[in-house]
Structure 1
Amino acid sequence: MARRLIPCLNRILVEKIIPPSKTTAGILLPEKASKLNSGRVVAVGPGIRDHSGKTVPVAVKEGDTVLLPEYGGQEVKLGDKEYHLFRDEDILGTLHE
């Protein structure tokens, strides 16, 4: 049975994108070559309620590529995969190509 985690409130489940360690030609890249800390949004919570009781939705959606802070987030392991939970306000931005 496959497990799926739906985050609560304004939390976002992210799978970190690991940069390649070598090029297609086989050249090994230094660890610091790709400093961009990014991830793919796997699931989002419904959002939080403001003072008037209205739901404020999360700023990102499933499938977005986001820029993550260097530190933070809660590590979550589901099956053999590792994910990270962040709050909506911790996400630095979305990445577009």
Structure 2
Amino acid sequence: MLKPLGDRVVVQLMKEEEKTVGGFVLAGAGQDKTQKAKVVAVGEGIRTLSGDLVAPSIAQGDTVLLENHVGTPVKDDDKDYLIIREADVLAVVQD
């Protein structure tokens, strides 16, 4: 398993298909939309200039929204993940 450092977060993108009312799957729809992802691991946080540790505001298991084309793609145990900075998270999805 990956353990992110600092303010980095490991997420796994959630696949969402766009469907019309008739049930047709739209290929390529929503390529410029935000993406939903599940937080798999969170780093310890970031240090301020004075050396204080600021804990991350998201936690493992959260569902978050990300912009497209953000982060570094990695593969671990045949699963695809993204490593992003906490600042790249737009919002936490509340169920």
Mapping of residues 43-58 of structure 1, within 5 Å: 43-58=41-56
1:16-59 residue CA offsets vs partner (Å, 9 max, x unmatched): 00014669xxx332141694411000000001110111101111
Check if 1:28 corresponds to 2:29. no
Decide whether aligned partners of structure 1 residues 79 and 9 sit closer, same or farther in structure 2, where only a CA change above 3 A counts: same
Check if 1:64 corresponds to 2:62. yes
RMSD (Å) for aligned C-alpha atoms = 2.1
Q: Percent identity?
A: 36
The structure that is strand-richer by fraction is 2
Which position in structure 1 is the counterpart of 2:86?
Answer: 88
Structure 2 Cα separation of the partners of residues 55 and 43 of structure 1? 18
Total equivalences in the alignment: 92
Structure 1 length normalisation: TM-score? 0.83
Structure 2: unaligned runs, 5 residues or longer: none
Structure 2 length normalisation: TM-score? 0.85
Mapping of residues 6-17 of structure 1, within 5 Å: 6-17=3-14
Structure 1: unaligned runs, 5 residues or longer: none
Structure 2 Cα separation of the partners of residues 72 and 52 of structure 1? 29
